[in-house]
Structure 1
């Protein structure tokens, strides 16, 4: 067994990768993470999905690829240039709502919404407003984060934030988690019933 992705890539993935590289964005989700997101998305038929941090839409494409036609995905980001790439290649998908918003604003404006699958790929829902975002997760819902192993683009002091975040997740009594020393470092949680 190896980490090779031997299944079809989402249709728009290659074009999104090219535009992301031209833009110089250095924080995209890696392909192993994306493949896992697609697989996990397929486990939530007719699900409500939330992605915190669209970026250029790389992970968004994979989540959409795993979703069925009865599912919906809300994905937000504050960066117009990155959202433009996502919109160009994925905006036609009726299941997707792309939103330009600051993370804190979006979370506060949408309290009370509930989701079956949350991918927290930005500070909000991970290092900030964790309680508020986890309150949006249905019982049995998936909470997923990546980039938990040291990354070359981490700023000074970030390893301490990551370790504190992991300890916080481990101490929660409303979430079962598994830590994976794989890809960029994944944590998958399931909201306890």
Structure 2
């Protein structure tokens, strides 16, 4: 099975990647992760969604394509230049709110907010403030992280951090977990 056949990229992905390349931004999620995000989001009508790590908006475009008109997306990015690409290309969509600030600060300032889906694609919410982020997930809500398989751009010692994270998440008995050795390595968790 070739999982890249008939992938059907969202409308704005090529434009986003073009701008990101000009900027030197190379940390966008891959298309397989994007396709999974779109499918998961499509199954949560009227969802409240949090994306930690907008980047240039590549994953954001996949999430938006899966959203119905009753859903809303909050997308948080620390780097203003990258966030500007996402806002310029996708900002016309009224279902999304772009926030330019540190993801850790956002989490700490919104501990009582609840979301149906959280995609943590940056350090806050994935490698620190994990417990706080998991507490922001509604019952039957989804937490998804990627980039868990070894990659050439990982700094020394990062593999140990990934292993510690996986071991920590495996102990979360209030969630069901699926580990996918696919794409860049994905964990999906659903609150029981």
Shorter chain as denominator, the TM-score bin is over 0.9
CA contact (8 A) 2:56 2:85 kept: yes
* DSSP-derived class of the 1:26 partner: coil
TM-score normalized by the length of structure 1: 0.97
Name the structure 2 match of 1:170. Answer: 170
Name the structure 1 match of 2:121. Answer: 121
Displacement, 1:122? 0.5
Name the structure 2 match of 1:67. Answer: 67
Name the structure 1 match of 2:46. Answer: 46
* DSSP-derived class of the 1:22 partner: helix
CA contact (8 A) 1:5 1:35 kept: no
Tell me the C-alpha RMSD between the 2 structures. 0.8
* DSSP-derived class of the 2:138 partner: strand
* DSSP-derived class of the 2:37 partner: helix
> What is the CA deviation profile of residues 77-117 of structure 1, one whole-angstrom value per residue up to 9, with x for unaligned ones?
11011001000111110000000011111011111000000
Distance in 1 between residues matched to 2:101 and 2:169, nearest whole Å: 26
Displacement, 1:183? 0.5
CA contact (8 A) 1:80 1:100 kept: yes
Name the structure 2 match of 1:132. Answer: 132
Distance in 2 between residues matched to 1:121 and 1:175, nearest whole Å: 19
* DSSP-derived class of the 1:40 partner: helix
Distance in 2 between residues matched to 1:84 and 1:24, nearest whole Å: 14
TM-score normalized by the length of structure 2: 0.98
Displacement, 1:8? 2.8
* DSSP-derived class of the 1:111 partner: coil
* DSSP-derived class of the 1:112 partner: coil
Displacement, 1:7? 4.3
Residues 5, 79 of structure 1: alpha-carbon distance in 2 compared, 3 angstrom cutoff: farther
Name the structure 1 match of 2:142. Answer: 142
